[in-house]
Amino acid sequence: MSADCIVPVVVDAPQHAGLSATLDYQCEQALAPGTLVQVPLGRRSVPGIVWHRRLGDAAEAARLRPLQAALHCLPPLGDAWMQLVEFSAAYYQRSVGEVALSVLPPDLRKLDDLRLAKRLARLRPEPIAAPPALTLPALTEAQAAALEQLATLRATARQPTLLQGVTGSGKTEVYLRSAARALEAGRQVLVLVPEINLTPQLEARFAERFGGRQMVSLHSALTPARRLRHWLLAHLGQADLVLGTRLAVFASLPRLGLIVVDEEHDPSFKQQEGARYSARDLAVYRGRLEGVPVILGSATPSLESWSHAEQGRYRRLSLAQRIGGGALPVVRLLDMNTVPRPADHVPPALAPPLLQAIEQRIARGEQSLLFLNRRGYAPVLFCGACGWKSGCPHCSAWRVFHKADRTLRCHHCGFGERVPRACPDCGNLDIAPIGRGTERLQEQIAELLPQARVARIDADSTRAKGALQAQLSAVHAGEVDVLVGTQMIAKGHDFRGITLVAAVNPDAALFTSDFRAAERLFALLMQAAGRAGRDAAQAARSEMWIQTWHPRHALYAALRAHDFDAFARDQLDERRAAGLPPFSHLALLRAEARNVEAATTFLREAATLAAQLPGGEAVRVYPPVPPPVSRVAGVERLQMLLESDSRRALQQLLAEWLPMLHTLRGRHRPVQRWAVDVDPLAI
C-alpha cells in the first residue's frame, strides 16, 4: 500500500472522549488537505476533514479502515484556515476535530458529493443592483487621520489597530472606507459584531455603501439552508463582504484582506459552550497568521486591549469628538438616598426630578430611553406571611414573574408554570412581586405618564419574527415617546430622536464577585449614554440620568467626565495589585454532577494531579468553589481556578494535564461533564 493512500483525518469528538489526534484511513487516491470526507468510526459513519499533517502517532497500515466518501466537488479548506483551527484547539484545550467540524454549517456535514454538486450548480450570488451614486460624507479631521494611518499599516498588518472612538464619532465610516480599500484591491472583508440584533443594522450600512458588491451574513439566526448558502459563497470567493457574529471568525475566506471587530469589548464574543473561544482574540491571531489588518473598534475598549495599546502591542487611533461637533450627553447622578419614600417604603420607579425631565422631553416632541438590564415583571414573587419565594426547583435561582402570560419562568433552565393563586406553602392569597423588571417598569411608566406612548424592547417582546425590526422602526419613525429596554437597546442603535437616557437601577451590577463587573457596567452605561444626542441639533440638551444609591462611587465620577482612560488606569492599578488579568492568566476547570460530593472529589483529585506535573509550581490551583448559580436543571456545578503569571506555563500545564483528566473522569462516573475554560470571563 502506498503511503500516499493513507490520509490523516480529524473527526468531531467532544472533549470528554479524549480523541484529539488525527485518525489514519486508507484511500484509493491521495486527497488534498482540507477535503471533507465521510469515514467509519466504531459502528458509525461520521464526517471528517483531511488534515494537513498528522497529529499523534500514525496507525499501522494493515489495520486501517477505508475512507467511505469524499466531497470532491468542493474546493478544499485552506491551509491558513486549518492553522487557525489548530491554534484554537490547542489554546482552548479542545480536540482539533471538535473545533473544525463544529464551525462548519451543519447542512454541509450531511451532504454527499452528488447532492453537494447539485447544490453548487444551483448556487448563484444574489442579484446585485447597480451601485447607487452616493455622495460620501465629509470626514472629520480625526477620521481622515485615522484612515491615513490605517493605510500605512498594510505593510505592518501584523499589528492590530485599536480604534477608540466615543459614541457617534464615526467609527463605522472608518470601517466602510477601510473596507472599500480592501475591496478595490480584490480582497474579501470580514466584519464581526457582538450580537445578532446588531447585524441587520450594520448590514444595511454596508449594503448602502457597497451596493455593487456581494455581501452575506453568518450567524445562528439564519436557517440552515441559508447559512450553508452564505458559507459556500464566502468559501468559493464569490462573497466580497461577510458580516457575522463570533462564529464568523472561522469563515473560510480564500482572499481575506481586512478584519473588523466592532464593539470589541463585548463579552458576547466569548463562546460559552463547547470550545470556549474568544472571537476577538482569534480575529487578532488570524490577522497575524494571514498578514491582514485587524481593526478593533470600541468607545470603551476591553482593559486587555487597552493595556496592549499602552504597551505598544496594538496601535491606538482615537476619535475623541462626535461627528458634527455634537456634545456628549451631560451625565446627571440622582442620589436615591435623598428621594422621599412613599408610605410603603418602596422606592419609586423614577424619582420626581427624572420624571419631570421626561415630561419635558415629551412636551418638546423628543424621545427618552429607560435602561434596565432585567427582563420580566419582577425577579421574584414573595409571600409576606411565611417567607416563601418563587425559587426554581431545578436551579439555585429564582423564577422570574412574567405578568403578560402570568407565568413564573427560570431564565437558566427554562422551567415555567402558571403563577399560583395562593402561596404554595401557607395558602396566603397575598403574594407580591419584589423588585422590578422591564415589563413592570413599562407598566409603571404608562401609569405615571398616561399621555406618553411607551414601548418595550427586550428578549421577551421581540421573540416573534420581525418584531425587533418593527419596534425599532416605530422608534425611528417617532411613534414612541419613552422606550424601555435591556442592553439590547443600549448599544449600536442610531436613535436620532432620543435626548434623554436614564439608567434605572445600575447599582445591582456594582457589587458582585465578578472582577470584571465594574468594567462591564462602565462600558454598558457609556454605550447607553451614547444613544442620546446623536442628532447634532439636539446634542446640546442631551442628558444621561443615573439613579444610584452610591453617587460617590469612582465609576460614576469617571462616567460623568466621559473619561474612559482615567477609569481604565484605576481599574488596571487595582488588577495589578490583585494579580488579576491582564497581569495574570486564568483557566477554570468546571465539573457537573448530580451531587456536590462527586464534583468536589473529581476537582480535588485533579488538583493533586496538577501539583505533580513538571512546572506545576508556576501555576496556582485554588480550592473548588460553586459558581454564582451552582445548580442548573438539577445538576450541581463546581469550578476550580488555575492562575499563573506566565501564559506559557499555564498552557504547558493544561496540555499535560488534560490527558490525565480524561483518565480521571473514567474513574468518576458520577461526574457527568467537565470542561476547561481558558481566559474565562468570570470567576
Sheet of 407-409: strand order equals: 400-402, 407-409, 416-418
564-578 and 303-310 helices, crossing angle to 10°: 90
Q: What is the pLDDT of residue 442?
A: 95
467 near 461, Cβ under 8 Å?
Answer: yes
Task: Give dist(CA 303, CA 569) in Å, integer.
Answer: 9
Task: Give dist(CA 172, CA 178) in Å, integer.
Answer: 10
% helix / strand / coil in the chain, to the nearest 5?
A: 35, 20, 40
Contact partners, residue 536, CB within 8 Å, separation at least 6: 322, 323, 324, 325, 326
Q: Which of 563, 547, 165 is nearest to 555 (CA)?
A: 563
Other Cβ atoms less than 10 A from the Cβ of 310: the count is: 15
Burial 601-632 (b: 16+ CB within 10 A, else e): bbbeebbebbeebeebeebbbeebeebeebbb
C-alpha cell at 572: 488596571
Pick the CATH number of 326-376+437-575 from 3.20.20.10, 3.30.420.40, 3.40.50.720, 3.40.50.300: 3.40.50.300
Q: Which of 113, 107, 98 is nearest to 22 (CA)?
A: 98
What is this structure's pTM?
0.92
582 prior amide bond cis, ω within 30: yes
Pick the CATH number of 141-324 from 3.40.50.2300, 3.30.2090.10, 3.40.50.300, 3.20.20.80: 3.40.50.300
What is the third-level CATH fold of 3-122? Answer: GIY-YIG endonuclease (3.40.1440)
Other Cβ atoms less than 10 A from the Cβ of 312: the count is: 9
HEC-encoded secondary structure of 652-664: HHHHHHHHHHHHH
Quote the DSSP letter at residue 324: G
596-612 and 647-667 helices, crossing angle to 10°: 130
Backbone angles phi, psi at 87, to 5 degrees: -65, -45
79-91 and 279-290 helices, crossing angle to 10°: 140
Task: Give dist(CA 376, CA 437) in Å, integer.
Answer: 5
State which H helix or E strand residue 373 sits in: none
Task: Give dist(CA 572, CA 518) in Å, integer.
Answer: 12
C-alpha cell at 288: 497575524
For residue 331, what are the β-bridge partners? Answer: 544
* Residue segments in the chain with a per-residue pLDDT below the cut of 50: 1-3
395 near 524, Cβ under 8 Å?
Answer: no
β-pairing, 635-644 with 585-593?
Answer: antiparallel
Terminal alpha carbon distance of the chain: 53
C-alpha cell at 454: 411607551
3-state DSSP assignment of residue 110: helix
| Domain residue limits, the chain | 3-122, 141-324, 326-376+437-575, 379-434, 585-678
Cell 482540507 -> residue: 34
**Which alpha helices (DSSP H) does 166-269 contain, by range?**
171-184, 199-209, 224-235
Q: What is the pLDDT of residue 1?
A: 41
171-184 and 141-152 helices, crossing angle to 10°: 40
Same fold, 141-324 and 585-678: no
What is the third-level CATH fold of 585-678? Answer: Alpha-Beta Plaits (3.30.70)
